[in-house]
């Protein structure tokens, strides 16, 4: 049975595309070659943040082009990349405090708690909550809440206070990893063992293996039970 097609509009031009496609695949089906705004195609890299409207609805909607399905009457347009404020700092000379985060990103104090960032996030992250946690200096909470951020940038596009939430979250996760999180003892032991040449034979075997052997080793690797 032939698949049902629907009409979408890409920069004003109408295309008939199968309804089972994602936005990204529909654009390619329509003949576009995506050389920007396209990365992993799996919902992880955040490169494909897209805005669109649907018929008779004034609201601008958002989604990841590689994940969101096309809808009948969808109007798609490309958004230009947006330069996001990214502080330059030396993590070795920092403290895991709210004052430190504010020093690097003073605009954080302008948050008006409008929750727009949370509503727009395609990862369903409580963005406003992590922004507020950063203001309180609760670095562990920011790291926890923002863990699934893919840095698509959609929250920053809509923020009336011009806060770049995801870069603040990156700073907090770095501070958390360096100063707050407990060190994993087994990891330290393993790093020491590697440093002491305990695994030189295995590493040498891996380095000399061809692609088929590597694939087989990967397939046969020990996995934690799910």
**Contacts of residue 20, Cβ cutoff 8 Å, sequence gap at least 6:** 3, 69
* Nearer Cβ to ligand SF4 (114/217): 114
* Nearer Cβ to ligand SF4 (75/105): 105
Interface with ligand SF4 in residues 24-53 (CB under 6 A): 46
Type and span of the H or E element at 111: none
Interface with ligand SF4 in residues 61-100 (CB under 6 A): none
- Both tokens assigned to 180: 């707050």
Interface with ligand FES in residues 18-47 (CB under 6 A): 38-41, 43-47
**H helix runs in 7-53, sequence order:** 23-29
Q: Which does 40 bind (CB under 5 to 8 A by kind): ligand SF4, ligand FES, none?
A: ligand FES
Residue 53, beta-bridge partner list: 75
CA atoms within 13 A on the CB side of 57: 12
Residue 159 sits in the site that holds ligand SF4 (CB under 6 A): yes
* Nearer Cβ to ligand FES (47/154): 47
- Region binding ligand SF4 by CB under 6 A among candidate stretches 73-81, 121-129, 135-143, 191-199: 121-129
- Region binding ligand SF4 by CB under 6 A among candidate stretches 28-36, 143-151, 178-186, 195-203: 143-151
Q: Which does 175 bind (CB under 5 to 8 A by kind): ligand FES, ligand SF4, none?
A: none
CA distance 178 to 173: 8
Residue 64 sits in the site that holds ligand FES (CB under 6 A): yes
Type and span of the H or E element at 191: helix 185-195
* Nearer Cβ to ligand FES (22/167): 22
- Choosing from 116, 135, 140, 199, the residue that interacts with ligand SF4 (CB under 6 A) is 116
Three-class SS state of 57: coil
CA distance 174 to 100: 12
Tell me 113's DSSP state: -
């Amino acid at each position: 049975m032939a698949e049902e097609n629907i009409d979408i509009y890409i920069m004003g031009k109408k295309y008939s595309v199968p309804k089972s496609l994602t936005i990204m695949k529909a654009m390619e089906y329509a003949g576009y070659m995506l050389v920007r705004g396209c990365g992993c195609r799996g919902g992880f890299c955040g490169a494909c943040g897209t805005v669109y409207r649907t018929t008779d609805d004034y609201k601008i909607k958002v989604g990841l082009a590689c994940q969101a399905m096309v809808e009948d009457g969808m109007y798609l347009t490309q958004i230009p990349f947006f330069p996001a404020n990214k502080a330059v700092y030396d993590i070795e000379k920092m403290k895991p405090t709210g004052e430190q985060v504010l020093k690097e990103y003073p605009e954080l104090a302008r948050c008006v708690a409008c929750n727009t960032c949370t509503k727009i996030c395609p990862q369903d992250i409580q963005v406003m909550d992590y922004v507020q946690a950063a203001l309180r200096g609760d670095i562990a909470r920011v790291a926890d809440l923002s863990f699934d951020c893919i840095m698509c940038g959609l929250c920053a596009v809509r923020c009336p206070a011009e806060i770049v939430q995801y870069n603040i979250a990156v700073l907090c996760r770095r501070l958390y990893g360096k100063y707050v999180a407990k060190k994993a003892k087994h990891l330290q032991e393993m790093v020491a063992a590697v440093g002491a040449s305990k695994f030189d034979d295995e590493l040498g075997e891996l380095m000399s293996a061809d692609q088929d052997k590597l694939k087989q080793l990967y397939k046969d690797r020990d996995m934690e039970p799910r």
